[in-house]
Each structure stands twice: as C-alpha cells, then as structure tokens.
A and B are shown apart, each in its own frame.
Chain A
Amino acid sequence: MSLFLTQLMNGIGNGAVYASLALALVLIFRTTGILNFAQGEMALYSTYLFWYFTDRGLPVVVAILAAMALSFIGGALVERVVIRPVEHSSPLVLVIVTIGLFLALNSIVQVQFGSDIKTNLPRAYPKHTWRPGNVQISADTLVLVGMLAVVCVLLYLLFQRTKIGLAMRAVASSSESARLSGVPVGQMLMFGWGLAAALGALAGVLVIPQIGLQASSMQSILVFSFAAAALGGFDSPVGAVVGGLIVGVAEALTTQYVHALNGIVLIVPFGLILGVLMVRPQGLFGRRTVERV
C-alpha cells in the first residue's frame, strides 16, 4: 500500500509538469487554434538559458526569472515572426510550421550550447524526502505541485480579473468581434504565446534538473503533455490540469506494476491519446464543436 501511495505521489509530481506544459498548449490552442508541437523545445531552450545564467554565476531564482522573462519575449516574437505570416493557412501548414520550429529549436540549442548532457544544473531547493508512514514524498513532488497550484491561481486571476485577460478571452472566442471592439488582436496573440513560453520555461527549469539537460530532454515530456491536453480537452485549462495529473499517475503506476512495459512506457500516453480520440474526441472537459445553422 505504501509503495502504491509513493508511486501515486511521484505520479502527481510528474503530472504537475505535464499539466503546466499542457496548460501552455491549451493557452495557444484556445487563442490561435494551433497545436504547438514546438512547446517542449521552447521550454528546452528556456532551460538552456537558465543553465547558461547559473553557469555564469547568477543565483538560481534570478536565473529562473530571467529565463522566464526572456522566454516570454521569445514566445511573443515567435508568434509575430513565425506564426503570424501563416496564421490563416490550412491546419496542415500550421502543423508543419510548428514541427519545423521544433526541429529548428532542437538544432539551435545543440549548436549554441553543445550537444553534451549538462548535469551541473543547480537546484532551486534542497533534495529531501519525507516519509510519513512508509510513503515517500520528495521535495520535487511538493515543489512541482506547489508550482502548478500557484500557476493555476495566477492564470485564473489574469483571465477573470484583469482587462487584458478579458480581452484574451474575447479574442479566443471571436477574434473578429474583439477586433471590431478595438481589441488589438495581434498583440493579444503575442501575449498569449509569450505567456505559454514563460509557463513552459517554469516547467522546464523545475523538471529538467532531475533528469539532466540535453537536446532530447523535453521530448517524452511533450508527448505526455499532449496526452494530458487531449485527455482533458484541448480547449479546457481545467482539463489540462486534470489530464496532466491523470497521465502522470498512469505513467508512474504502469512503470511500477506493469513490468512488461518497462522501457516502453511511452505506450501509456499514446494509448491514452488513441483511447480519447476514439471514445470522446473533445476530451473530458472539452466542448464538442456544434455549429448552429
């Protein structure tokens, strides 16, 4: 039982990472209707920035904030420079553009920062494990879950209590009506991409030090996050969080109890994506698109 609970806690910790990256995916999907396959690599680049800053001697917290700020600017620029010119193209074109961005960022980090694995990433908090009963709860789990909770509260306040949040929701719902009301739609989209990039940066700098930083660090995480967003519904922030936690727990329990899948645990997210698409394509919390004639 304690082993089960330990794995459950691990799963929730990982799930918090998937949830925050899935939130970033949802943020972009709701405002621009794009599945951003480059979300993970954007977070990867952010984490390299974090590594670079700490390598130059910046304190960890300052490095995190600097990486997030630069990621925000970078995300906004990606929207303006890469996405805007093709925003009215077919979904196929958009998918290919974000996959191209994925490959480009993945190559750029290797050229810019080297392809060796960086293991000297400083931690933002000390390693520690609590053992209430026989259950093990690591500091990683608590920090990741705490980060997710703070992010959720801040996003809620942003979208429900501020004018810019209201304008972003208006753009997501009907960009034409928002534009006719004088909302600068382009700036809102840049803001959304910037926000998503900063959110990904936060997830990246907190999770990657646990697994080591290299060009492939974010790839399986992105697959799990896509599964989370698909499970929860690509248009639902609540769904992204719930989906992330479910996927994280499913991964941890599978690793523990289904030895046949050791080494191919990526089967879990792919299975979830497939299952969701067959049974409930809009996801648990997503809205079925109904066109009223």
Chain B
Amino acid sequence: MSVLLEVSELRASYGAVRVLHGLDFVVNEGEAVVILGANGAGKTTTLRALSGMVETSGHVHFDGHSIVGSRSEQISRIGIAHVPQGRGTIVDLTVAENLRIGAYRRRDREVAADIERWYDVFPKLEARADQQAGNLSGGEQQMLAIARALMSRPKLVLLDEPSLGLAPIVTQELFRTLGELNHTEGLSMLIVEQNANLALGIGSRGYVLETGSIVVSGTTDELAGDDGVRRAYLGV
C-alpha cells in the first residue's frame, strides 16, 4: 500500500493564535482514516490546513506534490476534495448545477455519466435534480455535498463531521454509503468526526486529536479498545 498523503510537523494558526502544534499522520491509498477529537481540538482546522484555507506551515506531500502554501483551487485540482462542515452545498444552485460545479475542472466528456452514477448512489438527489439545493433536507444536502466533491474524481476526500446535525438513521445510511465507496471503489478518505462509534466503524486507522496535538494513534480496533478513547469518545 503506497502513501497517498503524508503530513509532518503541520502547524496552523488563525492570526496570532496557533491551533495545530505539529501534526504527523499519513493516509495510504484506499484507506479510510479517522481523526477523532472533542470540540475545539483542531479537527476542522486540520482539514482546512490541508485545503489551503488557513495559514499553514510544515510539510504536506500529496501524490507527488508539496501542497503547503498552495491555493484551495489548486489543491482541489490535484485531487483533494473537501466536504466542509455543515452543508457544503451551494444553496442557490440546483442539485444538478451543484454536481456540474463539482466537475468544473474536468475537461472529459463523462461528466453527465458521472452525474447519473451519483444519482444511482444517492437516489434522493435525482428526484430533486432541478430543485435549489437550499430547499433540500439536511441529510440530502450532506449527500449532495459529498456527491459534488466526488464529481471532481478526487484521489482523496476530506470529510468534516458528515454526521453533524443529521438524524441518526440518516447518518447511518450516509456512513454505510461512505463505507461502500471506500471498500468497493477504493476511495481514500480522511474523516473528522465527533461521533466516534460511527467513524471507527468505517475507518481502518485513526488518530485522536487533543488541543492541536495527536495524542493517540492506531488501527480503529486498537482505538476502540483503548481505555482513554473509550472513556472520552465512546461513552463507556
């Protein structure tokens, strides 16, 4: 298994406030990696740092590119898709238009076929193809945000708390779909979650983030068996 994303000494700050204090982690090709942590631990900032949305230093190597200091749209172009926290849909565009924006950088002729493909995976989106994304339910918007990210045919998808604000049954359906995409398509994912039960269920490895530093890492089985993790994140 080859390394797809290699992060070392990743630091990020908002103005004078440093939020990440030197993170080291990797995502291998085809892996689903989970980052757990409480509110304010720096999970969202980690993903934003990878996407060039905050002031960042350190080393990030992705698929042969060094991406620290690159602009978000350049990072998107080399194959990292970012589903931001809380409905990363473009609310004034229709569902179909959102998907076309996801393919903005593509020049091939298979965009329409890909849209059909994601409609098959998320049938609720097809039924609402011509509706404004802002009128969708929370779960549908999250599916749309993920489908739009996948329209760019990314090598790695960053998912920022996909379960946030969704009903448990919707969340379970969403994670089942994500798990299938990871298993059957070999889609690499980096998932940030507070809902540790769900996240550990689909990931193969994970990291635990506390106040901007990684405190525990291991396979998801190891994390699920770790007493500290169980007490802090699994509620047992």
In the complex the two chains form, is A180's CB within 8 Å of B91's CB? no
A184 within 8 A of B: yes
A170 to chain B minimum Cβ distance, whole angstroms, is 5
In the complex the two chains form, is B148's CB within 8 Å of A174's CB? no
A68 within 8 A of B: no
B74 to chain A minimum Cβ distance, whole angstroms, is 8
Contacts of A174 in B (CB 8 A): 89-91
Contacts of B61 in A (CB 8 A): none
- Taking a contact as CB atoms closer than 8 A, the residue among B51, B53, B84, B101 that contacts A170 in the complex is B101
In the complex the two chains form, is A166's CB within 8 Å of B97's CB? yes
In the complex the two chains form, is B93's CB within 8 Å of A180's CB? no
B152 to chain A minimum Cβ distance, whole angstroms, is 6
In the complex the two chains form, is B73's CB within 8 Å of A179's CB? yes
Contacts of B73 in A (CB 8 A): 179, 182-185
Q: Mark B52-85, 1 if CB is under 8 A from A, else 0.
A: 0100000000000000000011001100011010
In the complex the two chains form, is A180's CB within 8 Å of B97's CB? no
B14 within 8 A of A: no
Residue in A closest to B72 when the chains form the complex, CB atoms: A179
Contacts of B21 in A (CB 8 A): none
B149 to chain A minimum Cβ distance, whole angstroms, is 8
A90 within 8 A of B: no
In whole angstroms, what is the CA distance A172 to B90 when docked? 9
In the complex the two chains form, is B51's CB within 8 Å of A183's CB? no
B65 to chain A minimum Cβ distance, whole angstroms, is 15
Q: Mark A160-176, 1 if CB is under 8 A from B, else 0.
A: 00010011011011101
Residue pairs across A and B with CB atoms within 8 Å: the count is 63
In the complex the two chains form, is B90's CB within 8 Å of A173's CB? yes
In whole angstroms, what is the CA distance A166 to B145 when docked? 17
Residue in A closest to B103 when the chains form the complex, CB atoms: A181
A97 within 8 A of B: no
A177 within 8 A of B: yes
Contacts of B148 in A (CB 8 A): 181
Q: Mark B24-66, 1 if CB is under 8 A from A, else 0.
A: 0000000000000000000000000001010000000000000
Counting from the closest, the 7 A-B pairs by CB-CB distance are: A173-B92, A182-B76, A182-B105, A179-B72, A180-B82, A173-B90, A170-B101
Given contacts A180-B51, A180-B149, could you give 14 more A-B pairs where the C-beta distance is less than 8 Å?
A166-B101, A169-B92, A172-B92, A174-B89, A174-B90, A177-B88, A178-B90, A180-B76, A180-B81, A180-B84, A181-B76, A181-B101, A181-B104, A184-B73
Binding site for A on B (CB under 8 A): 51, 53, 72-73, 76-77, 81-82, 84, 88-93, 97, 100-102, 104-105, 145, 148-149, 152
- Jot down 13 A-B pairs with beta carbons below 8 A, ordered by A: A170-B90, A170-B101, A176-B84, A176-B88, A177-B90, A178-B90, A178-B101, A180-B72, A180-B76, A180-B81, A181-B101, A182-B73, A183-B104
